[in-house]
Amino acid sequence: MRRRELIRTTGAAAVVAALPACDPQPVVPSARFAWGVASGDPTSRAVMVWTRLAVDRDTTIRCDVFRDASERELVTSASASAMPARDGCVKLDVVGLEPATTYYFRFVTEEGDASPLGRTRTLPEGEVARMRLAFVTCTNFAYGLFHGYRRIAERADLALVVHLGDTIYEYADGVYGDLRALDPPRETVTLEDYRRRHAHYRLDPDLKEMQRQHPIVPIWDDHEFANNAHTTGSLTHDPVTQGAWSDRVAAAKQAFFEWTPTRDETQVHRSLELGSLARLVLLDARMDGREAPPIDTVDWMRSDRRLVSDAQEAWLGELVSGDDVAYTVLGNQVVLAPFAALENLDAWDGFPAQRQRVMQALSAAPSLPIVMTGDTHGSLALDLPGPTYAADTQLGSIGVEWGAPALASPHFTGEASRARESMLLEATPHLRFTEQEKKGYVLLDLDDTRARAEWWLVEDATRADGNRETLTAAFEARADDRASREAELAPSPVIEGAPSLAPDR
């Protein structure tokens, strides 16, 4: 629902130097690579590649990197070990690559077993005219099918995919969705539990295909640990029956880093340079400084109350203050803009003093701030209201916040969904659009004149035949306006010349 629709009381939403070339041999992927391949955390000259083997001893495997999907032009090879101590997960930092270049890669064991062919891309350097990214969040295996992943996998012109958190859910079988059974069937608490849950998710064919075709940049939210997690506990963790919270956090972090193609295994807040066009800044709003929920109003309003650590806040402020890019794209787990209608003190609403400082830093940034947010399970387009914000003109907006829907998680339906959308719009003057029912993802299309967000929602994530996607909303923002303006509901043109997707062989 859009604000203009609320006003007129209608509720309808539109529907390395290359080595000599060689003739490739036919390759049939081995069942040993059942979890597929992935890549992530690219730079302009390197990218992390990932796979997993079930092993009972250290096993050497080789990764071959090609310039072409036909595997004729070998660029480089490197070896690593699949180790039981790492749950068989293998991560390699492939270096010496060229900027803004698509590569194809395959893992091979000493016995000749081969993985599926993966596809990845390095980041650009210098002047960049246009770039496209996809944003996903809240992927609950038990609740629904991952149709959105499949649709993302089919887009050849994406630079990368950003996962805003809740890459897995920790609940026991049947507790928070019962469409698909979980492994382990119990709630995840131990290292073995978290490893099994990550492994279970990554057998999903749509998830495997998305990670095979595009580099992914993930951050965690609460469900990689436990519901409403913070540094000293969570809403649902019971230390009497589940042990020390610090042990559970350590286990969850280890499994996350083993099973994702991240470069740094000490933290998830980091930044990626996207040439002259943008800087992607990723926050850790869960495990780097977050305090427990407030106990009373005095505690809630404390000036030293923290969602992120002092060090992370300072790091963010320094990044945005010296911007030499057109856009700062902030990957953020929970809603930043004031949103009292959600009554969610687990979001930035629970940390008003620190939020004010972050908003001040964004308002002073030379670049246009674009906050990409997950967590709510619904689609959102908001202005970031400054002190002089006027809802009727949208003047005084310091930037935009665009919220991705869940890819597969619980939601409101039917009349309940329409009622919730009306309530949110009525109570939040800077909310321009919301859709609270359908699942999908957000496509962010950037060029040197505007930033454009498109909400691509699938028909029904609970049905195998519900994978048809529809462009449901589009909003744009410009540096001289900094407001979230509704745009023409037509797909932005694909980027011409995108290298081919990796063939399924």
Instruction: Tokens for 464, please give them.
Output: 């195998």
Per-residue pLDDT of the chain (505 residues; tens, 9 = 90+): 776 665 453 333 333 333 444 455 667 788 999 999 999 999 999 999 999 999 999 999 999 999 999 999 999 999 999 999 999 999 999 999 999 999 999 999 999 999 999 999 999 999 999 999 999 999 999 999 999 999 999 999 999 999 999 999 999 999 999 999 999 999 999 999 999 999 999 999 999 999 999 999 999 999 999 999 999 999 999 999 999 999 999 999 999 999 999 999 999 999 999 999 999 999 999 999 999 999 999 999 999 999 999 999 999 999 999 878 999 999 999 999 999 988 899 999 999 999 999 999 999 999 999 999 999 999 999 999 999 999 999 999 999 999 999 999 988 888 998 999 999 999 999 999 999 999 999 999 999 999 999 999 999 999 999 999 999 999 999 999 999 999 999 999 999 999 999 998 7
Task: Count CB-CB contacts under 10 A for residue 250.
Answer: 12
The per-residue DSSP string of 227-278 comes to TT-BTTB-SS--HHHH--HHHHHHHHHHHHHHHS--S-SS-S-EEEEETTTE
Q: Do domains 31-120 and 124-486 have the same CATH topology?
A: no
Phi/psi for 201 (5° steps) reads -60, -45
Q: Name the β-bridge partners of 133.
A: 160, 444
Please name the amino acid found at residue 478: R
Q: Give the separation between CA 21 and CA 67, rounded to whole angstroms.
A: 10
Q: Give the separation between CA 15 and CA 258, rounded to whole angstroms.
A: 40
Superfamily of domain 124-486, CATH level 4:
Alkaline phosphatase D (PhoD) (3.60.21.70)
Given this model, what pLDDT does residue 27 score? 78
Given this model, what pLDDT does residue 322 score? 82
Q: Which residues contact 253 (CB under 8 A, 6 or more apart)?
A: 287
Q: 31-120 maps to which CATH number?
A: 2.60.40.380
What confidence tens digit (pLDDT) does each residue in 243-302 have? 999 999 999 999 999 999 999 999 999 999 999 999 999 999 999 999 999 999 999 999
Q: Which residues contact 34 (CB under 8 A, 6 or more apart)?
A: 54, 203
List the domain boundaries for the chain.
31-120, 124-486
